[in-house]
Structure 1
Amino acid sequence: MPFSHDMVHSLATVVDLINTSPAAGTGEGLESVEDLRAFVRRHVISGVEDLGADDLSDVRALRDAFHEVFVAPDRDTAVSLLNTMLGRTRITPSLAEHDGFSLHVHYFAPGASLAEHLAADCGVALAHVLVEDERERLRTCAAPDCSHVFVDESRNRSRVYCDSRTCGNRMHVAAYRARRRA
């Protein structure tokens, strides 16, 4: 499934958001409002004004809801979870061109909070993955000591590690050493 620029951006954002969770095994990645501001800057999230403690709390709750969609045991559960999330989100599609990005669609309503913005844009991207029957692309790293999630964008759906340079390389080296000992 070829992903559009909008989808790639939104899916990368939701993956990075989920992987800030302590459940990902790397500690709390959103400890403070400043961490949240850095996340917004890193992902070039437009239309976000002042951020406060409520935003941090709301985004953490949203992060957990997105994680549930990724690890849902089946398609119907993922659809139900995503429908519940999208049903609580004000969605107002509009075309936008900003920050050097070509014309694309924003789904968040004007004046939306950061959590609503993320729920709308990232939720719609995940909805497209489910509609295209590509749920198996939503994965958790196969390395035994890693709980990061990722979206497998490979043509043959063969990616199993969140990052080939870290987890993938580490697991391949371990397998090589095990074969050498045998």
Structure 2
Amino acid sequence: MAFAHDTAEALRSAVELVNSVEPPVTLGTVADLAAFYRRHGYTGRHDGTAAELAEVLALAPRLRTLLLTPRDDVAPIVNAMLAEAAAVPRLVRHEHEDWHLHAVADDAPLADRIVVETALAMVDVVRTDETSRLGTCADDDCGGVVLDLSRNRSRRYCSTACTNRNAQAAHRARVAGPR
């Protein structure tokens, strides 16, 4: 299942945000937030302040819950998020991006836009019955969220670091042989 570009990007953004607050923290400064904003193609208001960073980081637990909630339990969470933001979906097009959905004003706080975009993305995930594309990292020492957008649904780890650590451990176990 290929999600629409805005759905996939909102999911990537949410997963990165959720995982960025766990060690090693990767979203800890206003400069990190500015890079996150650019990397995920956000448009509209971006204050670039410590207060905005705190608001965005405070979303991590709520987004983690949303991303990992079983399919049939997602609707109340999504509905509450959209209602709180008074979200009104509308089609928009930007210079470098074709038609996609926005549901809050461009001058709304970045944290509000992240919540609404993630909620809208989860609407698509639920409607297409693709919640299995979200899960937790297979590394026993990591609780990161995994977004698997691969065709063969083979992604098991939240990051390259977790992937490499587990590949090395498996290799060492094979080389050592049975005990």
Q: TM > 0.5 between the two? A: yes
Distance in 2 between residues matched to 1:38 and 1:173, nearest whole Å: 31
Counterpart of 2:89 in structure 1 is 93
Distance in 2 between residues matched to 1:118 and 1:48, nearest whole Å: 12
Q: Secondary structure at the match of 1:116?
A: helix
Moved over 4 A (4+): none
Give the TM-score of the pair, scaled to structure 2.
Answer: 0.85
Distance in 1 between residues matched to 2:174 and 2:29, nearest whole Å: 45
Percent identical among aligned pairs is: 38
Q: Deviations over 1:127-162 (max 9, x none)?
A: 210222211111111012222212111233332112
Counterpart of 2:59 in structure 1 is 62
Match for residue 115 of structure 1 among 82, 97, 111: 111
Unaligned runs of 5+ in 2: none
Q: Secondary structure at the match of 1:59?
A: helix
On the 8 A contact 2:146/2:156 being kept in 1, the answer is no
Distance in 2 between residues matched to 1:16 and 1:76, nearest whole Å: 24
Give the TM-score of the pair, scaled to structure 1.
Answer: 0.84
Unaligned runs of 5+ in 1: none
Q: Secondary structure at the match of 1:69?
A: helix
Distance in 2 between residues matched to 1:95 and 1:82, nearest whole Å: 19
**Relative to 1, partners in 2 of residues 1:176 and 1:131: Cα closer, same or farther, differing over 3 Å?**
same
Number of residue pairs matched by the alignment = 177
On the 8 A contact 1:138/1:149 being kept in 2, the answer is yes
Counterpart of 2:140 in structure 1 is 144
Q: Which of 101-110 and 124-133 deviates more?
A: 101-110
